């Protein structure tokens, strides 16, 4: 496969995953911002959404208020935000079109339909218009994933798309956890208090993990157990460990096909070994923020290694 083709497939997977996550993030922020003012929980909700998406400075440059209307519009439809849902779906569609013959008709139609539908949306007139749009975004991405899973050959095209999705998913989960742990809980609020409980529950809902949490732990929502589920539990598809298992598996499949390994395999193996040697107790003892910062750096480095080995 040409490096250009591999790059388009890889980034198509990343952009689709980012669009899905941003829709989930906005939904979660709406829930957090809806807390009664007596909780004090609405103060930082939309600021935390921008921080999670790494868009704080970009939004500040626009000179607009950090409120539901302006932030949700910026994260959803803003053409000058390269990570808005609209921009991500456009980028995914452009990448898919450039490698149209590597995709099945059903997979292409799912991506093309998503772009055509969101391109018809020119603004968010009300809060009531936002919810259905976010539901549609999640549905479009799920439609693509279903089409790809059912119709694409298990070959390099399928592996590169899923490789990109897994790298992006790991990054999103780590950033979400880090922002919640450091920015979301107002000063003066106790860890384990009613606001903290609601926020962690919302985080679990953001990654569709609340039911999984109840099945695994059969306990009330506790920060260290949520972190354990989203960092180390390999049964949880969005956990950091599960994402890196998937990354390593797809890299191994590509290595078997090409007959050679390289820098991406070494970095992925090192990242996986780091996660395998951790327990939630050792992570908290060393500092959750410090652990997540290091993970984000390592995950970014892995993306660079994948690009160096396959995409240039």
| 129 and 218 part of one domain | no
Largest CA distance in the chain: 61
**Count of the separate structural domains present in the chain:** 2
How high is the pLDDT of residue 17?
A: 97
Q: What angle do CA 276, 170, 261 make, to 5 degrees?
A: 65
Q: Which of 89, 124, 151 is the last residue of a domain?
A: 151
How high is the pLDDT of residue 126?
A: 66
- Helix 156-179 and helix 194-206, axial crossing angle in degrees, nearest 10: 170
| 39 and 142 part of one domain | yes
| 161 and 29 part of one domain | no
Average of pLDDT values for 15-23? 96
| 212 and 89 part of one domain | no
How high is the pLDDT of residue 284?
A: 86
> Coil, helix or strand for 196?
helix
| 171 and 312 part of one domain | yes
> Please, which contacts does 113-117 make with residues 24 or more away whose CB atoms are closer than 8 Å?
113/140, 113/143, 114/89, 114/140, 114/141, 114/143, 114/144, 115/89, 115/90
- N-term to C-term CA, the chain: 12
| 21 and 98 part of one domain | yes
Q: Which domain holds residue 27?
A: 1-151
| 120 and 187 part of one domain | no
Average of pLDDT values for 64-90? 92
- CA torsion sign for 44, 48, 50, 51 is positive
How high is the pLDDT of residue 51?
A: 87
Token digits of residue 273: 């070994």
Q: Does residue 109 register a pLDDT over 80?
A: yes
pLDDT tens column, 26-39: 988 888 787 665 55
Q: Which of 151, 178, 195 is the last residue of a domain?
A: 151
How high is the pLDDT of residue 311?
A: 85
More confident residue, 162 or 206: 162
| 254 and 272 part of one domain | yes
Nearest CA-CA partner of 49 in 59, 40, 63:
59
Asked if 18 and 83 count as a contact pair (C-beta separation under 8 A), the reply is: yes
| 87 and 200 part of one domain | no
Name residues whose C-beta falls within 8 Å of residue 249's C-beta, 6 or more positions apart in sequence: none
pLDDT tens column, 130-166: 889 999 999 999 999 999 999 999 999 999 999 999 9
| 303 and 240 part of one domain | yes
**Helix intervals (H) in the chain:** 3-33, 45-52, 56-60, 68-76, 85-98, 105-119, 127-151, 156-179, 194-206, 210-217, 223-231, 240-258, 263-276, 280-286, 288-306
pLDDT tens column, 229-282: 999 999 999 999 999 999 999 999 999 988 888 999 999 999 999 998 889 999
How high is the pLDDT of residue 182?
A: 61
Q: What angle do CA 52, 170, 183 make, to 5 degrees?
A: 25
Exposure of 188 in the CB half-sphere (CA atoms within 13 A): 3
Q: Which of 110, 130, 151 is the last residue of a domain?
A: 151
| 57 and 96 part of one domain | yes
Name residues whose C-beta falls within 8 Å of residue 85's C-beta, 6 or more positions apart in sequence: 19, 22, 23, 75, 76, 77, 118, 137
How high is the pLDDT of residue 119?
A: 93
How high is the pLDDT of residue 37?
A: 53
41 band by pLDDT with thresholds 50, 70 and 90: very low
| 186 and 255 part of one domain | yes
Q: Does residue 190 register a pLDDT over 80?
A: no
| Choice among 57-71, 180-194, 215-229, 248-262 with the minimum mean pLDDT | 180-194
Token digits of residue 276: 């395998």
């Amino acid at each position: 496969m040409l490096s250009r083709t591999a790059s388009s497939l890889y980034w198509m997977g990343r952009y689709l995953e980012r669009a899905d996550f941003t829709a989930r993030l906005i939904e979660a922020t709406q829930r957090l911002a809806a807390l009664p003012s007596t909780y004090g929980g609405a103060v930082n909700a939309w600021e935390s959404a921008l921080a999670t998406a790494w868009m704080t400075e970009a939004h500040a440059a626009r000179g607009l208020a950090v409120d539901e209307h302006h932030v949700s519009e910026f994260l959803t439809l803003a053409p000058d935000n390269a990570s808005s849902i609209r921009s991500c779906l456009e980028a995914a569609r452009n990448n898919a079109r450039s490698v149209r013959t590597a995709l099945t008709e059903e997979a292409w139609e799912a991506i093309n339909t998503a772009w055509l539908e969101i391109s018809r949306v020119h603004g968010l007139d009300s809060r009531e218009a936002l919810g259905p749009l976010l539901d549609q975004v999640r549905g479009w991405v799920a439609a693509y994933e279903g089409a790809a899973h059912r119709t694409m050959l298990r070959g390099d095209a399928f592996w590169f798309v899923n490789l990109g999705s897994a790298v992006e998913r790991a990054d999103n989960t780590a950033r979400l956890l880090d922002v919640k742990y450091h920015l979301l809980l107002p000063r003066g609020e106790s860890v384990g208090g009613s606001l903290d409980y609601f926020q962690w529950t919302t985080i679990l809902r953001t990654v569709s993990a609340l039911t999984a949490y109840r099945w695994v732990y059969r306990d009330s929502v506790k920060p260290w157990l949520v972190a354990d589920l989203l960092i180390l539990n390999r049964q949880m598809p969005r956990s950091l460990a599960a994402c890196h298992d998937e990354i390593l598996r797809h890299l191994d499949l590509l290595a078997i096909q090409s007959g050679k390994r390289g820098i991406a395999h070494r970095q992925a193996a090192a990242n996986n070994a780091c996660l395998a040697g951790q327990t939630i107790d050792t992570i908290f003892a060393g500092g959750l923020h410090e652990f997540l910062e290091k993970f984000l750096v390592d995950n970014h480095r892995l993306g660079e290694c994948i690009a160096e080995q396959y995409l240039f």
